[in-house]
Amino acid sequence: MAENPEGAATRQPSPPSISISAQLVRSLTFRNAGALQSPDGQPSVTVNINVDAGKRSETEFMVGLRIEAASKTETQEFYDVSLDYAGVFQITNYEANMLEPLLLIECPRILFPFTRRIIADVTRDGGYAPLMLDPVDFVALYRREVTRRAQEKAGGQADTAGGNPSVN
């Protein structure tokens, strides 16, 4: 505590903090369509990642990380894996304008190593080489989403200005 000139004690603001109170698999699906098949070429793997966040209380938020991956050649499917993983975060003393980036960048960054391990284990247990996901640039994903929203909003305003109703 510090004292002000009149001698009264002033309270220092608490520093921002983030902690994870729970992690869970909300959903996990593995479809092994190509079990024990030899590939007719080099399989390609496609990966999609989505992030969502929701407020549970004034300081508690649930952040979800959904990862979908598929391995196939032009004529054969090998596997599809879908993981919906979440963390419950306690977040205090952050300014309102910093909350969205925190939830959509930092929280997924904390969860990602756990999802990466689960995906690798499941694909390995399915009889394939473990799928080792590359690190994800959550800042770039966030910026892309912000740009998409801005374009969607601008498109909606243009529609409204032209006399066409917009659906939000």
Residue 56 falls inside a structural domain: yes
Give yes or no for a contact between 92 and 17, defined as CB atoms under 8 angstroms apart.
yes
Does some domain include residue 154? no
Neighbours of 108 (CB within 10 A): 24
**CATH code of the domain in which 44 resides:** 3.10.420.10
- Residue 8: inside a domain: no
Task: Indicate whether 162 belongs to any domain.
Answer: no
The structure's pTM equals 0.80
- In degrees and rounded to multiples of 5, residue 14 shows phi and psi of -70, 145
Separation CA 51–CA 101 (nearest Å): 12
Q: Which domain holds residue 70?
A: 15-146
* Residue 134 included in any domain: yes
At a CB cut-off of 8 Å and minimum separation 6, what does 33 contact?
77, 78, 79, 80
- Evaluate whether 16 touches 94 at the Cβ level (below 8 Å): yes
pLDDT tens track, the chain, 168 positions: 455 555 555 677 789 899 999 999 999 999 999 887 777 778 899 999 999 999 999 999 999 999 999 999 988 999 999 999 999 999 999 998 999 999 999 999 999 999 999 999 999 999 999 999 999 999 999 999 999 989 998 886 544 333 333 222
Residue 133 lies in a domain: yes
Per the structure, how many domains does the chain have?
A: 1
